[in-house]
Amino acid sequence: MREITYLQAVNEALSEALREDENVFIMGEDIGVYGGAFGVTRGLLEEFGPERIISTPISESAIAGAAVGAAITGSRPIFELQFSDFVTIALDQIVNQAAKIHYMYGGAVSVPLVMRTPGGSGTGAAAQHSQSLENWTAHVPGLIVIQPSTAYDAKGLLHSAIENNNPVMFYEHKLCYKTSSVVPEGKYTIPIGVADYKRRGKDVSIVATGIMVHKAMAAAEVLEKEGIDVEIVDPRTLVPLDKKTIVESVKKTGKALIVTEAVKRSGFSAELAAVIAEEVSFDYLDHPIVRLAGLEVPIPYQPDLEKKAVPQVEDIIEAVRKMMGRE
């Protein structure tokens, strides 16, 4: 089967959804002629025209508000925020409108929209364009939150998100865009709320999200040469969360290392740790739960400092060695 990049996989899913359903349209800043800040929507304007690929003014609140209005009146809008940091500007429309309308109207109205947005560090974009704020929306009842790590997952989950009748927050890590994996041609879906084993192992479970899945995979290759067999679980969907798969993995290995890029304090790593603590008896655990996550600092612009602010492959290797009593 063919391999394509994460970026190409998202572009394919968007193209297929637009062709399949005339109620689907996309809007966002510079998504037309320019093809989006990272080129994800490149070529869509030429095929589908300006009525379905709508370049908007620079106003995230207006974009999100228009998407909510369109969704409750029968369309299936996809809106792109150039950087996930600017979800902060659109939070009222997302949190107080999109997330609550179905409930407040007794189920009579649905809000089938998808917010696509790139997040995370690693591109030298500095403090205002490099944050990982997915936990902010994961905290809100009524929102589905998806964070794919691979091209295969991104395409299948984006199709599922577009077909879902609830508001979906779809976070794409910038560094994932250039990664490649085997991706089928044509439409396919991946069930929302189902985690994936990215690697099977028996010594320690790493639960990682987004780009940290790739870093965990790289660390596992090094550790394998040292005789340490790492299992890697990718939740893929933060809300709803597949607790069963995570718990089964930790029960098997007896050790849990959680790796996320977002700031450790009150981040999604805390939710994952709490799930394990609540669901896995101490009889199964051979070591306290360990979290690796971002430092409590704004993301620096300087490349070396930027790397220091979030977990790297070497940090994962060191943490696993300590958990295995190798250091």
For Cα atoms 82, 217, 319, give the angle at the middle one, nearest 5 degrees: 100
Place of tokens 């179905």: 102
* Tokens standing for residue 308: 């220091």
Helix (H, G, I), strand (E, B) or coil at 196: strand
The torsion region of residue 135 among left (phi > 0), alpha (psi -120 to 50) and beta comes to: alpha
- Residue whose C-alpha is closest to residue 157's, from 184, 182, 192, 116: 192
As a whole number of Å, the CA-based R_g of the chain is: 20
Burial degree of 74 (CB within 10 A; 0-12, 13-18, 19+): exposed
| Other Cβ atoms within 10 Å of 324 Cβ, number | 18
129 a catalytic residue: yes
- Among residues 129, 159, 173, 214, which one is catalytic? 129
**Residues with catalytic annotation?**
129
